[in-house]
Amino acid sequence: EDQVTQSPEALRLQEGESSSLNCSYTVSGLRGLFWYRQDPGKGPEFLFTLYSAGEEKEKERLKATLTKKESFLHITAPKPEDSATYLCAVQAGDYKLSFGAGTTVTVRA
């Protein structure tokens, strides 16, 4: 069974304090690894898809990287509006997404 573990569970940052979120996974035949952002009371918002080890993608202050066993979401110089829960999900041989529990990021001004 596919397993996705995210750490830490919660992260409190000062504005401008860069940090990284971890997503480790066990999956048979990775088709894609996805990062989503979720604000309270809303559905997850798509951020990135990574397909193979060594791949990197960037969007504003966020950068996602992928190895054979884990993915990192780096947040550079975060702002209060980056506060959210960040979810990692993997897609394997079937079509469903298996999600981690998420990392809740709080950025203080």
Q: Return d(Cα 68, Cα 86) in angstroms, integer.
A: 20
Coil, helix or strand at residue 82: helix
Closer to other proteins by Cβ: residue 2 or 82:
2
Site for other proteins in 16-75 (CB under 8 A): 31-32, 34, 36, 41-46, 49, 51
Strand pairing partners for 73? 21, 64
Structure tokens at 67: 């190895």
**Cβ of residue 78: shortest distance to other proteins, in angstroms?**
23
The answer to the question of residue 97 lying near other proteins (CB under 8 A) is: yes
The secondary structure element, H or E, covering residue 38 is strand 32-38
Coil, helix or strand at residue 68: coil
Closer to other proteins by Cβ: residue 22 or 79:
22
Closer to other proteins by Cβ: residue 83 or 91:
91
Which residues form the interface with other proteins (CB under 8 A)?
31-32, 34, 36, 41-46, 49, 51, 87, 89, 91, 93-102
